[in-house]
Amino acid sequence: MKRRTFTVEKPSRVEAVLRGALALARDEVFALVERGAVYVDGRRAKDAAARVAGGAKVMVVLEESGEAVTVPSPRAAPLVVLYEDADVLAVDKPPGVTAQPTPGKVGDSLVDLATVYLRKQAGLVHRLDRETSGVTVFGKNPRATSALAAAFREGRAKKEYLAVTGSGVPASGVIELPLSKDPSRPGRWRASDKANGITAETHFTRLSDDGAVAVVALFPQTGRTHQLRAHLAGIGYPIVGDRLYGGAEGPRCLLHAHCLEIDDLSIEAPVPPEIARFLT
């Protein structure tokens, strides 16, 4: 990732600072701020007209360098098996693959790939969003599928996710903001104690912070739709690449299901390179 870092000599506005330091046009500056690529003293700048104090440290993320991080197509992504026994199949879901078939598109989902691998119907018991990667388990027979589903329903499935956010996330904490559908944007959930939402609880620990982005470990205590994405956005630190929730520009929504424990079974998916690069 190509970055430019410099110190502001005298008080000015974000727009003027970037135009002077980077020789950019006004619309280019506003585009950088809008996509979340500008940070002042480690915090993302949200307004190009905001004042910047003298001595402030400004960092601008200009572009990706080296090999491009791309989301693989489902057909090109082989099924990566993390664990298998007589009852359970655990795989590392790649980003860009839906958990189950969508209307008008059948055959490319993770459950389709698992079914082909098993040569019989794979029992889907939980789902990751399309751009989320990581541990996904399937039942290999009806009894195992029911038992796995019960473990998730009863809270015996312990999950750890990794996410990349903006810099400045607290060292640790608990987010208990209720979730409700956002009436202003279909498909999005809002995390707010001002709405009549459903209970949700997420514990988190910061793992690294380089002044531009941070990596956090997330431990959801409930399993609500978009819980982690909405909770992080609700406290002001949306996930990088999560356009729906206002995250800074990234190769994808940088959320990864890293570990899953169900009773005595523990499964871990390797940290993908687009997230591992930020772990310091």
Catalytic residue among 129, 182, 209, 242: 129
Tokens representing residue 19 in the block: 């135009």
Query: In what helix (H) or strand (E) does residue 43 lie, and over which residues does it extend?
Result: strand 43-44
Is 129 assigned a catalytic role?
yes
- In SS3 terms, 118-145 reads as HCCCCEECCCCCCCCEEEEEEECCHHHH
| CA atoms of 166 and 269, how far apart (whole Å) | 24
Q: In sequence order, what are the residues at sequence separation of 6 or more whose Cβ sits closer than 8 angstroms to the Cβ of residue 191?
A: 175, 177, 178, 179, 197, 200, 230, 231, 233, 234, 235
Residue whose pair of structure tokens reads 């359970």 in the numeric block: 88
What value does the CA radius of gyration of the chain take, rounded to a whole number of Å? 21
Strand, helix or coil for residue 11: coil
- Interhelix angle for 14-22 vs 26-34, to 10°? 120
Strand, helix or coil for residue 207: strand
DSSP 105: B
| CA atoms of 134 and 270, how far apart (whole Å) | 8
Instruction: Please count the residues of the chain.
Output: 280
What is the set of active-site residues?
A: 129
